[in-house]
Amino acid sequence: MLTKPEASPDGERARDVCSRHGNRPDELIEILHEVQEQLGCVPEAVIPVIAKAINLSRAEVHGVVTFYHDFRSVPAGRHVVKICRAESCQSMQSEALCSHAKASLKLGFGETSADGQVTLEAVYCLGNCALSPAMMVDGELHGRVDASRFDEIMAETLSEATQ
């Protein structure tokens, strides 16, 4: 038996978030951030719930979710690794860093490891151009990252996860 999204626990939580924001369409970004914070992502099933609550079309809500790279439709891994691919970082060998990261983690951009530990993401500016190439792990910014520094950062990150 199929349940309607609005009847699901996620749908109820999304509706509650919308209500706290006054069901205002101009609050969509804030609503999506809060839904993602609560659910770990913005599941496809809650998009019609949000759209109905704030009087927008599903296409409008879906368009915002898919346009901004911070929103995801499935939960991220325990650790999120973002590597900058903008021009400054590219000029400082970020493509070599990207290749190393993908090989080391055995992931492509936008993928999460099978054990749910790591998600690898490409981003297009971390605001750390003076220290290119840059990466961010779990919100912590790192600059002048090469393959060996990447390995050190990841070893430290993953060892903390087991402690």
Tokens, residue 97: 């860093």
Taking only the tens place, the pLDDT of each residue in 45-97 is 999 999 999 999 999 999 999 998 889 999 999 999 999 999 999 999 999 99
Q: Which fold has domain 79-162?
A: Glutaredoxin (3.40.30)
pTM for the full predicted model = 0.80
Report domain extents, the chain. Answer: 5-67, 79-162
Residue 76 contacts residue 41 (beta carbons within 8 Å): yes
**Residue 57 and residue 39: Cα distance in Å, rounded?**
22
Output the pLDDT for position 1.
43
- Which are the contacts of 14, defined by CB distance < 8 A and separation ≥ 6? 35, 39, 46, 49, 50, 53
Output the pLDDT for position 2.
47
